[in-house]
């Protein structure tokens, strides 16, 4: 059960909407699922010659049918990173990239739908290079075609609570998709029980993120005064470009800013400032082009050779429907480069529209993330025009603990009406990576609030991993 403290003394009552229980087995014990999860996959043609790949895992709970548990759509970042690949086998799916069952998986709490989007990502593909999405509007319209087809064919999911979860650039896409889906449900053009969206370390306001990089790194002793001045200078260049609506230039300067940061921080890891690991890159891609450099840093590192071999080998053979001309990740660089003009555009206004429409919005962020640091997230939240923002801001955040005996804070949480924010401590950009190798399972008395459930799941996993390493 999650606990929070009042007046310094642990209170024996659950926090928020549901009762959560976490069991941590002895190290080395692997919790098997009740049975092999039921899974389906396929393609949907979202536009002529544009094909979107999806992979569905039904919830696999020993005591509940999948119809009693929510459905979660998982959206990866990039753009161009594969949810069916990276999100599935590196983060939250039932098997890891060694094809071994995970100690824990979200399938114990929900059915999970992975989609390779925008088209060209992962196993998704286009037959014409002019059909790659170039803006959020196209990404959203393609997803509406997919969701309409999915729910019309998988009618068993029409009444199940449906949530959109996302990571990084996936959060920007999730915001736009959530708003369009809400309107479609209201109009009756798509039949589903849409309940809300969760935005994990999400690229909602690129400028706010960039402007916070210098202060964040300086406050964590990763920049000196000279380095801070250099990072601040290039951040102002980006701001000037955005103010002039020169978004392509802003993306190019964004890459320059990251180069300046690497030079001044001894190559800090953008996804976890405490991790010095350098992302894998293939030597054939070491070209002196700014877009290639950005692609390598933010998409290629999710297509490591081991995952590439898995997806284009055993997984391709298992799926049996991948066209001979399609290679997993083969068009991902095209996806990234075609979104260059849209990449640095903010979607704060879309969050405002979601909140005004009473759609549940949950934001969660890892303390050690740089690329989308928490300072930047807090900055764009302060820009919301949501009438209840003042009330949200006045709320006292609550520390979350895994057990009443715990003295180490795992996270903080604040919520008001249909908006919530989780500050997840000791986690980086890929918050969900914390789940890997963790021996824990979750049982929930209530699962109406799948966003809260999954966020609490992440917090518990983070706490357990870091405690076991101490």
Q: Which entry of 142, 369, 373, 449 is annotated as an active-site residue? A: 369
- Judge whether 348 lies within some domain: yes
162 lies in the same domain as 215: no
CA dist 443 and 55 (Å) reads 25
Residue 429 appears among annotated catalytic residues: yes
398 lies in the same domain as 421: yes
Residue 444 appears among annotated catalytic residues: no
464 lies in the same domain as 367: yes
Encoding tokens for residue 407? Answer: 């003295």
In this prediction, residue 278 carries a pLDDT of 54
121 lies in the same domain as 243: no
- Judge whether 294 lies within some domain: yes
CA dist 432 and 401 (Å) reads 18
Q: Which entry of 82, 111, 166, 168 is annotated as an active-site residue? A: 168
- Judge whether 359 lies within some domain: yes
197 lies in the same domain as 218: no
- Of 299, 317, 332, which residue is a domain's last? 299
- Judge whether 74 lies within some domain: yes
- Of 299, 328, 353, which residue is a domain's last? 299
Residue 369 appears among annotated catalytic residues: yes
Q: What is the mean pLDDT of the chain?
A: 81
Q: Which entry of 182, 413, 429, 464 is annotated as an active-site residue? A: 429
In this prediction, residue 359 carries a pLDDT of 93
CATH number at 460 reads 3.40.50.1820
211 lies in the same domain as 200: no
354 lies in the same domain as 370: yes
- The residue that leads in pLDDT, 191 or 22, is 191
The percentage of residues in the chain with a pLDDT greater than 70, rounded to a whole number, is: 76
The percentage of residues in the chain with a pLDDT greater than 90, rounded to a whole number, is: 62
pTM: 0.83
194 lies in the same domain as 270: no
- Judge whether 315 lies within some domain: no
- Judge whether 307 lies within some domain: no
188 lies in the same domain as 261: no
Q: Is the pLDDT of residue 92 over 90?
A: no
145 lies in the same domain as 224: no
β pairing state of 193-200 and 441-444: unpaired
Task: State how many domains the chain has.
Answer: 2
Which range marks the domain in which residue 283 is found? 206-299
- Judge whether 125 lies within some domain: yes
Express each pLDDT in 363-410 by its tens digit: 999 999 999 999 999 999 999 999 999 999 999 998 877 656 767 777
């Amino acid at each position: 059960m999650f606990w929070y403290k009042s007046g310094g003394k642990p209170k024996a009552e659950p926090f928020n909407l549901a009762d959560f229980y976490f069991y941590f087995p002895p190290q080395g014990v692997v919790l098997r699922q009740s049975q092999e999860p039921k899974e389906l996959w396929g393609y949907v043609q979202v536009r002529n010659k544009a094909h979107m790949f999806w992979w569905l895992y039904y919830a696999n709970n020993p005591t509940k049918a999948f119809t009693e548990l929510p459905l979660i759509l998982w959206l990866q970042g990039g753009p161009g990173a594969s949810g069916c690949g990276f999100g599935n086998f590196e983060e939250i799916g039932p098997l890891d990239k060694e094809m071994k069952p995970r100690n824990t998986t979200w399938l114990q709490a929900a059915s999970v739908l992975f989609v390779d989007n925008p088209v060209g990502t992962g196993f998704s593909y286009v037959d014409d290079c002019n059909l790659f999405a170039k803006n959020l509007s196209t990404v959203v319209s393609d997803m509406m075609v997919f969701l309409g087809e999915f729910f019309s064919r998988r009618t068993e999911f029409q009444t199940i609570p449906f949530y959109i979860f996302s990571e990084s650039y996936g959060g920007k896409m999730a915001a736009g998709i959530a708003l369009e889906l809400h309107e479609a449900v209201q109009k009756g053009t798509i039949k589903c029980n849409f309940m809300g969206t969760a935005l994990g370390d999400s690229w909602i306001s690129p400028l706010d993120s960039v402007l916070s990089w210098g202060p964040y790194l300086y406050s964590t002793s990763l920049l000196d005064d000279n380095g801070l001045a250099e990072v601040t200078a290039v951040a102002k260049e980006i701001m000037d470009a955005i103010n002039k609506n020169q978004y392509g230039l802003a993306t190019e300067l964004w890459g320059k800013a990251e180069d300046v940061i690497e030079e001044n921080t001894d190559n800090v890891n953008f996804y976890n400032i405490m991790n010095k690991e350098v992302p894998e890159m293939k030597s054939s891609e070491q070209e002196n082009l700014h877009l290639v450099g950005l692609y390598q840093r933010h998409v290629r590192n999710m297509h490591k050779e081991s995952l590439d071999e898995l997806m284009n080998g055993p997984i391709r053979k298992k799926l049996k429907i991948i066209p001979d001309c399609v290679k997993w990740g083969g068009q991902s660089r095209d996806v990234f480069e075609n979104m260059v003009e849209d990449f640095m555009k903010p979607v704060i206004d879309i969050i405002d529209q979601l909140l005004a429409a009473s759609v549940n919005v949950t934001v969660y962020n890892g303390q050690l993330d740089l690329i989308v640091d928490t300072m930047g997230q807090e900055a764009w939240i302060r820009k919301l025009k949501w009438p209840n923002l003042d009330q949200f801001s006045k709320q006292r955040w609550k520390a979350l603990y895994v057990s009443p005996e715990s003295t180490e804070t795992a996270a903080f949480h604040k919520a008001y009406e249909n908006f919530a924010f989780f500050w997840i401590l000791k986690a980086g950009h890929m918050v969900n990576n914390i789940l890997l190798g963790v021996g824990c399972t979750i049982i929930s008395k209530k699962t109406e609030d799948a966003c809260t459930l999954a966020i609490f799941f992440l917090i518990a996993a983070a706490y357990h991993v870091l405690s076991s390493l101490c």
